[in-house]
Amino acid sequence: MLTLAATASDATFFSLGQGFWDIVLSVCLLASVAMLVVAMFSHPGKISLSPQREAALATGHSDRTTMFESTLLRPLMLVMLSLAHRLALPGLKRWIRGKLVASGNPEFYTPEEQIAVALLTGSALAGVMEVLYLIAAGQFSVVILFFAMGAGMILTILQLYSRASSRVRTIGKRVPYALDLIALAMGAGATFTEAVQTVVKEGGSDPFNAELRAVLAEINLGTTRRRSLENLAERVPLEMLRSIIASIVQAEELGTPLADALHSQATLMRMHRSVRAEHAAAVASVRILLPSLLILMGVVLALFGPMIVNTVENGLFTQ
C-alpha cells in the first residue's frame, strides 16, 4: 500500500510539474507573439531605394541582381521587407548599417533588406527542421520552430559580421604600406590628393584602395579633406586608422609636414604589428602545451597500458 501511495504521489507530482511547464511555455509563447506584433506595427516604415543605390543608378551603373530582383522570390521578399520595415529595432538596424558599410556592401543592401534576408533564412531553416522533426517524432514542436527561426536569423547576422571583420582586417594589413607610398609620393613633391591617386592607381582592387577612391570622390565633389578622412574613419571601424586620421588633422592644424607625420605613423603601425605578432607567438606556445601533454600521455598509455593492466590483474610478481 505504501508503495502504491508513493507511486501515485510521484505520478501526481509529475503531472503537476508537466502542467506547470506547459503553462510557462504557453505564457512565454504568448509574450513573444505579443512583442513581435507590437514591434511590427509600432513603426510603419517606408520601402524605398537606398541613397547609394539611387546614386549608382543615376550615374548610369547597372542595377543589382539579388533575390529582391528575382522574379520568383520578389513577392516573398517584399513581404519580408515589409515586416523588416515595421520592426521597431533602431539599435539593431544601426548596428547592421555599420557592419554593411564595413563589409563594403557591394549589393547596396539597407539594414531592412538585411533583416529581410535573415527572416527568409530563419523561415526556411524553421520549415526544414519542423518537417524533419515531424517525420522523426510524428508531432509538431513549437520550440523547434522558434529555435530554428532564431538560429537562421542569427547565422545570417553572424555571416555579415564575419564578412565585415575580414574586410577590416584586410584593410588593417594594407594601411602601413599605403601610408608609406603616400609619404614617399608627397616627399617627391606630390600633393596629398595626387599621392592618394597614385596609390589607388597602383593598388588595384584592394579594399583599402576602394575606400581611398571614395575619399577622392568626396574631395572632387567639394568635401573638405578633413571631412573626407573623418568619413573614412566612420566607414572603417579600425582604431589605428582613427589615430592616423587624427594625427593628419593635427598636422594640418599645427603646420607640420604631412609626409613626415604619415611616415612616422606607418613606422609606429609596423612596430605595433611586430609586438602583436610576438605576443601571438608567445600565447600560441603556451596554448599548444596542453595538446602536447595529452598526446604524450596517450603515447605513454599505448606503450605501457598492457603492462599496467597485467600488473593490476595478476600482481607485481606472478608465481
Looking at the chain, list the stretches that DSSP marks H as alpha helix, in order from N- to C-terminal side.
2-41, 51-58, 74-86, 90-102, 111-137, 142-187, 192-203, 207-220, 225-235, 239-254, 258-287, 289-314
Greater pLDDT, 229 or 319:
229
More confident residue, 41 or 199: 199
CA 152/CA 150 separation, integer angstroms: 5
Q: Which pLDDT does position 319 carry in this prediction?
A: 52
For residues 154 and 152, what is the distance between their CA atoms, to the nearest angstrom? 6
- The conformational region for residue 56 under phi > 0 = left, psi -120 to 50 = alpha, else beta, is alpha
Residue 185 grid cell: 609620393
167: amino acid identity, one letter: R
Task: Break the chain into its structural domains and give their ranges.
Answer: 28-47+65-167, 174-286
One-letter amino acid for residue 220 of the chain:
N
Question: Residue 4: pLDDT above 50?
Answer: no
pLDDT tens-place string over residues 207-254:
888 888 888 888 888 888 888 888 888 888 888 888 888 888 887 777
The predicted-structure confidence for 126-169, as pLDDT tens digits, reads as follows: 888 888 888 888 777 778 888 888 899 999 999 999 999 999 88
More confident residue, 238 or 26: 238
Using CA atoms, how far apart are residues 129 and 122, in angstroms rounded to an integer? 10
- Rounded to the nearest 5 degrees, what angle is found at the Cα of 30, between the Cα atoms of 24 and 32? 100
Q: Is the pLDDT of residue 39 over 80?
A: no
Contact, 110 vs 50, CB < 8 A?
A: yes
pTM given for the model: 0.69
Identify the pLDDT of residue 285: 77
Cα–Cα nearest to 174, from 240, 259, 104, 219: 240
What does the pLDDT average to over 172-186? 82
What is the percentage of the chain residues whose pLDDT exceeds 90? Answer: 6
Compute the distance between CA of residue 267 and CA of residue 175 in angstroms, rounded to an integer. 11
pLDDT confidence band for 294 (50 / 70 / 90): confident
Indicate the fold that domain 174-286 takes in CATH.
Answer: Receptor-associated Protein (1.20.81)
Could you tell me the pLDDT band of residue 13, with boundaries at 50, 70 and 90?
A: very low
Cα gap 264→119, rounded to integer Å: 48
